[in-house]
Chains A and B, each alone.
Chain A
């Protein structure tokens, strides 16, 4: 019996529940040597010298001098060195690996190693822009001199740590002259390409295999490339199998987080409509750019969320600071601006004396309208239906009237949002060029090969299901193993909510073709290249055009109570509606919805990570608090079909969509409960006390 109508039990479900699934640290690794990073303990300066103690037999020291070809980690913008060379730019930057059989001994050796620096004055402020982007829509000048109301406000969002339950880890060994890697990862080909680049070796000499992965959320998109490049440098030198598993404190302090942001909006209201918006989005990128340019692009494309505003002047900067670089995390820039704009649009409605709920609904984008970046919303949009359903599920209107008064200490809020699925613009066709392989053996068993990593989302199951459904054969007749770069063509990274919309679509097309040529009892193979919608045109330099192949949509409603004595917020209810095109498997999509919203609620009021003198102050899971079972209510989700022409059975993406609207829905609810505006997340008790006691808010 199942509670979900179109769901099958996930391929790896039983092995995970029974503790049989082998995660990286569970893999047999007898005689592997441990790698222990030696990290900088200053935020900025020149490295004068490193005094390494005399190493016992069987222990090694590997640093920038051992680099084989290129001292860069292959990320979108490759400015991050594999090992710091002569200078360090953030606290915790890896200078070297200490390697040996005993972990305790390595700790001792790390303590005895002395790094001598010429310290420089670090910069922690948002003043040195490393990446700048800007664009316009309409003519803002025409409305900025002719309006009824205007408002300028600034919003801030903090760091967020992914807290995948399994920390970063990797093992690496030599198979003849071939480097073989198993790791906790999202993107096997990113790891492979990073090793090939730093070693300058032939791609056939590197093999990446995915074991079970315990969560990722963006945190394992790029960081494993760093670990792989360091360990590959070491393995070339010492030719011994290696293992590096981070403790939780290392993972919290020294791996990438969500970009903190500061966004300023100025809006103009004329005749009850928001006719123009000027915005400046500022992201803290940390010491190296890495993927921050793309994060900024996504933040800017989502700068007015799913609202139709005719005149825009938008600019954004990624600032370089002497802090841990920030990188991918579910939503990739858009949670920051969607939070800020959702708060802003309700604030400006109130300033104009208009009902914020009506005001938002009046501005929802419609099919055929122009996007913020002068593209077009090509496909049908069912936002009004999503809103209506979410309001009905949550009894929104009744509760809104009941709580919306001073001293109620109770609030309800809603957010509407979109998420562009897949890589920005025409990137899927021009950069990624996914290719998918289907084979059939003599027993008519079909084998599906993708490079998509299942780190909990269930995509191994979903993609397999697309193939079996399309071929009209039982699911048992299709296999879909975890990626191994020796057997799998690249279907691209597991990122950007692209797995279902892009790779799922490829699965469907490949299966259709295989069905056409199907000959029973004969070995057959079909390779399907990705061809996207031909109407998608995007100019990365000017940030103009169709930003994504397609959009998924959602509405979140959150209800809270507020304790005026402790300033604690309690989440009392969560209701969501989503248009993901079509859910291939309801249970899997609802699982994403529950988990995404829970993580977003944590982002909104609980998860606080601060930097002092370049170091994260939260070092453990007792300091960095994520939601537990008692912090969340039962969440309700409804999915409404809106088939996408270029998706498998009409499916779009859903992984990130479920994250982006949670914090603003919660923010609106908190504002109602405290009867004051908020401008920052996490809205923790310290901040809410400040808001409540400050008359200016």
Chain B
């Protein structure tokens, strides 16, 4: 057990935890961030995506030791931002969320993509989101939503 300090959704957090614990478990079980989903536990599905210093990570593959001193953002924090609203509105418009299990991760990864590349091509969107599995939509509505929100422009 170690004292772990980091920022979660822009608030400082101090916890006692095993540094080898999965970030996913710290977030879900200890900090009740249930918007972070476990779909596979091996980094294949992206349902547990979180942002660590603005970069999208699979929290199931990230040991808590790796986030010491960093800024972690989950959907619980991101949903209060204007950027979330813009992405979520496009997702709603195209019907990009069906069962919803992949959606928080998909939205966070979309933000990470647009921050890095505000005007991605369709191929760039597909490659960027290829680590987030969705079994309901065939990605059609998701890719269209991301392209549209990118086309509308604006600061990320």
Contacts and interface: CB of A to CB of B under 8 A. Distances in A.
A595 B135 contact: yes
A374 to B, nearest CB: 37
Given A19-B36, A248-B39, A248-B41, A598 B101 contact: no
A597 B101 contact: no
A23 B101 contact: yes
Interface stretch (B15-23, B62-70, B87-95): B87-95
B100 A212 contact: yes
A591 B139 contact: no
Given A19-B79, A20-B35, A214 B95 contact: no
Nearest to B129: A629
A164 B135 contact: yes
B45 interface: yes
Nearest to B125: A629
Nearest to A624: B44
Interface string A1-18: 111100101101111111
Interface string B20-52: 000000000000001111111110110100000
A495 B103 CA distance: 24
A165 B134 CA distance: 7
Interface in A609-639: 620-622, 626-630, 632, 634-635
A1 B93 contact: yes
B133 interface: yes
A26 interface: yes
B93 A165 contact: no
A17 B136 contact: no
Contacts of A215: 98-99, 101, 135-136
Contacts of A591: 95, 98, 136-137, 141
Interface in A128-171: 162-167
Main secondary structure of the interface of B (DSSP, over half): loop
A16 B133 CA distance: 16
Contact of B99 (A4, A164, A597, A598): A164
Contacts of A622: 42, 44
B145 to A, nearest CB: 10
A452 to B, nearest CB: 15
Interface centre among B40, B74, B91, B135 (most CB of A within 10 A): B135
Nearest to A587: B95
Nearest to A620: B42
Contact of B74 (A19, A247, A597): A19
B4 interface: no
A620 B102 CA distance: 17
A490 B142 CA distance: 34
Given A16-B97, A456-B99, A634 B143 contact: yes
A599 interface: yes
Contact of B140 (A4, A14, A594): A594
A500 to B, nearest CB: 16
Contact of A628 (B35, B123, B133, B141): B133
Interface in A167-193: 167
A25 interface: yes
A488 interface: no
Main secondary structure of the interface of A (DSSP, over half): loop
Contacts of B119: none
B107 interface: yes
Contact of B100 (A12, A590, A599, A628): A12
Contacts of B123: 630
B59 to A, nearest CB: 13
B122 interface: yes
A217 interface: yes
Contacts of B142: 629
A199 B47 CA distance: 37
B138 A632 contact: yes
A83 interface: no
B94 to A, nearest CB: 6
A97 B96 CA distance: 39
A588 interface: yes
Contacts of A241: none
Nearest to A252: B40
Interface centre among A163, A217, A595 (most CB of B within 10 A): A595
A594 B137 contact: yes
Contacts of B53: none
Nearest to B35: A19
Contacts of B103: 16-17, 19
A22 interface: yes
Contacts of B92: 9, 13-14, 17
B127 interface: yes
Given A17-B103, A248-B39, A165 B133 contact: yes
15 contacts: A10-B97, A15-B100, A16-B97, A17-B79, A18-B104, A22-B34, A25-B38, A164-B101, A165-B45, A166-B39, A590-B95, A594-B137, A597-B138, A629-B125, A629-B129
Interface of B: 34-42, 44-45, 47, 74-76, 79, 84, 88, 91-95, 97-104, 107, 122-123, 125-127, 129-144
Interface of A: 1-4, 7, 9-10, 12-23, 25-26, 162-167, 212-215, 217, 247-248, 455-458, 587-588, 590-591, 594-599, 620-622, 626-630, 632, 634-635
Given A9-B92, A17-B88, 17 more contacts: A13-B97, A16-B103, A17-B79, A17-B91, A17-B107, A18-B75, A19-B34, A19-B74, A25-B34, A163-B133, A166-B99, A248-B41, A587-B94, A595-B138, A596-B138, A599-B135, A627-B138
